[in-house]
Amino acid sequence: MSTVEMHPQRWGDPAAATDLPDSARGLVELAFGSAEPIPATPDMTLPSSGLAPDLLAGFRAAVGDDHVLTDDATRRLRTRGKSTPDLLRARAGDLSDAPDAVVRPGSHDEVVAVLAHANAHRIAVVPFGGGTCVTGGLAGPGPGRDGFAGVVSLDLVRMARLLAVDPVSMTATLEPGLRGPDAEALLAEHGMTLGHFPQSFEHASIGGFAATRSSGQSSAGYGRFDAMVVGLTAATPTGELRLGSSPANAAGPDLRQLLLGSEGAFGVITSVTVRVRRAPAVTRYDGWRWPSFGAGREAMRALAQSELLPTVIRLSDETETAINLADPEKIGAESAGCLMVVGHEGTTEQVTTRHAAVAAVLAGLGGEDLGEEPGRAWAEGRFRAPYLRDSLLDVGVLVETLETATFWSDVDHVYDEVKQALSSHLAGALVLCHVSHVYETGASLYFTVAAPAGDDPLARWAAAKVAASEAMTAAGATITHHHAVGTDHRPWLEREIGSVGVRALRAVKAELDPVGILNPGVLVP
């Protein structure tokens, strides 16, 4: 498989890192004046690996000598994820919570053996898929190690096989370490697709998708990742779970849901069986312009509630539309309204029929058909945006994203409250938003914030994040629609699921992981 290691201080493939394009530099100066660049130190000072030799030997016995790594370069690449605070710490050379070792099992049985050894010696285990987490879910116990004998990053990179394909039932069983593109390539050999394309697709893994209940850009057509999972296996310190023996059942509560979204805190997902679809013969993405964000949202609701959702549907608010289309000379010109991208995938006949039906509804509601060019531009550039975040950090602009979801009747209110919270806690910020995922009953709002980084960007962002999280939960919206809980959202989880919900999570954790070695500090309040 073609796994490219990400840059330790930036998003993505190191070869694809770029300087800020000149056109964007002009925009930045107009919006924020001249900011102080945020340097990235080339120094790499990691605490030395603190695991005693006999403890390392136990892991070597489980997975083989070659797959227990303690060198600084490997441990650095398994330190935290890719949120903006993670990137700021990495730029500052803060690697204080690097794991003591990176352990790479090659099979379910090796994961079982690793967990048995870690459990016996109270060594914390942080499952690591693609490392694209943005909620502090890979943080691990810090420098004091909180009473653990050490911390290992359980890197699932070697478990990257397509284990089985059932073309009759249209399911496939995949190992957790497969990255998005590799999973799609293996399925393509069978004429199949998963249809899961989050913006982190190029680096995120199958196990990570399951462990965080990820949602991709084609969720309207293919569904969220958790909705695709028909079965899974997981290893826990107290035994294994093998779930999903039928397409549907009434055999009590659905225990798959205990592992989906469990973020490594209840067990290690060692395979998932997913529902797959036939690879589309045709894809078509169009742009539509709406006079306002509200008008576009009403159109989305109309489609969702008449079972006419396309494969992809997303809508940028006025600010995001203006920034995306902006060229500095046109700033202040007539409003571009709000851009919606509408995509259809399937056979020629399916795409033709659905395109016509959806276009008729959108035109009838006052949308302006912009043709395929904006849709094509979105499809071509959709995995490039995260690289721009690093280029903006380079020139002193803090950029971060957050997301939520709510019912249609509350979308307006949640949008206003979160936008207001971000603007008032981050002086000089530009707040952009788009509707990223749509359901019959509601939608997800995805905010992007850009602001001058100032002297202490970590503190500036922390204050804004608290304000936005308070605003979301006070308005009754979820703390996260698809980024998961990690450590960052944990303080707000009880507000969402209540104290009984928290006690239930703690009881599950106590049963599956009584010593508490699995991803301590993540998910469970």
Ligand X SMILES: Cc1cc2nc3c(=O)[nH]c(=O)nc-3n(C[C@H](O)[C@H](O)[C@H](O)COP(=O)(O)OP(=O)(O)OC[C@H]3O[C@@H](n4cnc5c(N)ncnc54)[C@H](O)[C@@H]3O)c2cc1C
Which residues form the interface with ligand X (CB under 6 A)?
Answer: 11, 81-82, 126-134, 137-138, 156, 176, 198-200, 204-205, 207-209, 211-212, 214-215, 263-264, 268-269, 386, 482-484, 519, 522
Minimum distance of ligand X from residue 522's CB (angstroms): 5
Minimum distance of ligand X from residue 357's CB (angstroms): 27
Q: Which is nearer to ligand X, 49 or 135 (CB)?
A: 135
Q: Which is nearer to ligand X, 187 or 351 (CB)?
A: 187
Q: Which is nearer to ligand X, 201 or 290 (CB)?
A: 201
Q: Which is nearer to ligand X, 206 or 362 (CB)?
A: 206
Minimum distance of ligand X from residue 200's CB (angstroms): 3
Minimum distance of ligand X from residue 312's CB (angstroms): 12
- Please give the full DSSP string across 467-513, using - where no structure is assigned: HHHHHHHHTT--S-SSS--TTTSHHHHHHHHHHHHHHHHHHHHHHH-
Which has the closest alpha carbon to 166: 270, 249, 244? 244
Minimum distance of ligand X from residue 285's CB (angstroms): 16
Q: Which is nearer to ligand X, 453 or 512 (CB)?
A: 512
Helix, strand or coil for residue 521?
A: coil
Q: Which is nearer to ligand X, 391 or 519 (CB)?
A: 519
Q: Say if residues 21 and 99 touch (Cβ distance below 8 Å).
A: no
Minimum distance of ligand X from residue 168's CB (angstroms): 27
Q: Residue 208 and residue 227: Cα distance in Å, rounded? A: 15
Query: b/e map of 70-95 (b: 16 or more CB within 10 Å)?
Result: beeebbbbbbbbbbbbbbbbbbbbbb
Q: Is 58 exposed, middle or buried (0-12, 13-18, 19+ CB in 10 A)?
A: buried
Beta-bridge mates of residue 273 = 173, 231
Minimum distance of ligand X from residue 10's CB (angstroms): 11
SS3 per-residue string spanning 21-75:
CHHHHHHHHHHHCCCCCCCCCCCCCCCCCCCCHHHHHHHHHHHCHHHEECCHHHH
Minimum distance of ligand X from residue 213's CB (angstroms): 8
- Please give the C-alpha separations between residue 46 and each of 73, 91, 405, 446, in angstroms, as whole numbers: 9, 14, 39, 35
Helix, strand or coil for residue 8?
A: coil
What contacts 167, CB < 8 A, 6 or more positions away?
Answer: 190, 192
Nearest position to ligand X, beta carbon: 208
Q: Which is nearer to ligand X, 362 or 394 (CB)?
A: 394
Count of other CB atoms within 10 angstroms of residue 18: 11
Q: Which is nearer to ligand X, 176 or 310 (CB)?
A: 176
Q: Which is nearer to ligand X, 175 or 345 (CB)?
A: 175
The encoded tokens of residue 303 equal 């489609």
Strand ordering across the sheet containing 430-438: 368-371, 282-290, 338-346, 312-316, 430-438, 442-452, 397-407
Minimum distance of ligand X from residue 295's CB (angstroms): 25
